[in-house]
Amino acid sequence: MPFSDYKTALVTGASSGIGAAIVERFRRENIEVHAIARSGDALKALAERTGCITHVIDVTDRAAIAELASRIPFDILVNNAGVDRPKKFLDADEGDIDLLVDVNLRAVLHICRLIVPGMVARDRGHVINISSIAGNYNFGGNSTYHAVKAGVAMLSNQLRLDAFGKRVRVTEICPGRVATDIFNHVHGNDPSIRERFIDGFELPQAADIADAIAFAIAAPVAVNIGHMEITPTLQVMGGLQTARPQAAKADGTGEPTP
């Protein structure tokens, strides 16, 4: 079902990065885009640039999302909003766990609950869930993020089962490292962060992710592109590591040495 068959879109986390790029890409297709984010100033600038309709809403505000969904029959839903607090689970903080679950998974579940049934009833719609390679592969120091993104991956698969027999398509987008400001948001707004994660690397841009999403949406109605991993050519996932057991203390207690 090409863009011409869709009229309205809801994009969360739209104020910057991938979300803003998606809004810009959809507006080029004359889609009426409703952009959600917490930053009113950034949304105002986005609206002036693209002509989108903005809503200063936290994705965890179910009442506000429900009110919006009750008024507008969305043809495209992009669940893009997300946060991260990189930390090994052995050092996990209660508040960080709650935040990641609330924003990255619970909000996605409730937004789908509010919008996807309407798509099914109209026999038309496309859900785009922005997940992560972290939902499919493991790397150190990000345990809660891995868990919630794996949940989004399973939800994406399950939505197709629940909407079976209707022309509601579901696409999970799994980016690797992308050249956006997300690293400053996560690790702190310091020049060393950009040097660590962005400078000197050959990385996809936010617009590249938006173009991939546009490709999936523009496919014929008979085509559902269900899963896309988008990574730098010079990035790989995985890697085999094997640790030696820690040596026992010399006093014979059997307790490991530091």
pLDDT of residue 257: 46
pLDDT of residue 140: 76
pLDDT of residue 189: 64
pLDDT of residue 238: 76
pLDDT of residue 205: 95
As a whole number of angstroms, the distance between CA 221 and CA 105 comes to 28
Would residue 145 show up in a list of annotated catalytic residues for this protein?
Answer: yes
pLDDT of residue 91: 87
- pTM of the predicted structure, to 2 decimals: 0.89
Domains in the chain (CATH in brackets) are 3-230 (3.40.50.720)
Provide block-wise average pLDDT over 10 residues at a time, the chain (258 residues): 85 96 97 97 97 98 97 98 88 93 98 98 97 90 91 97 97 93 60 73 93 97 96 84 69 51
Which of the residues 3, 74, 145, 197 is marked catalytic?
Answer: 145
Tokens coding 78: 């992009």
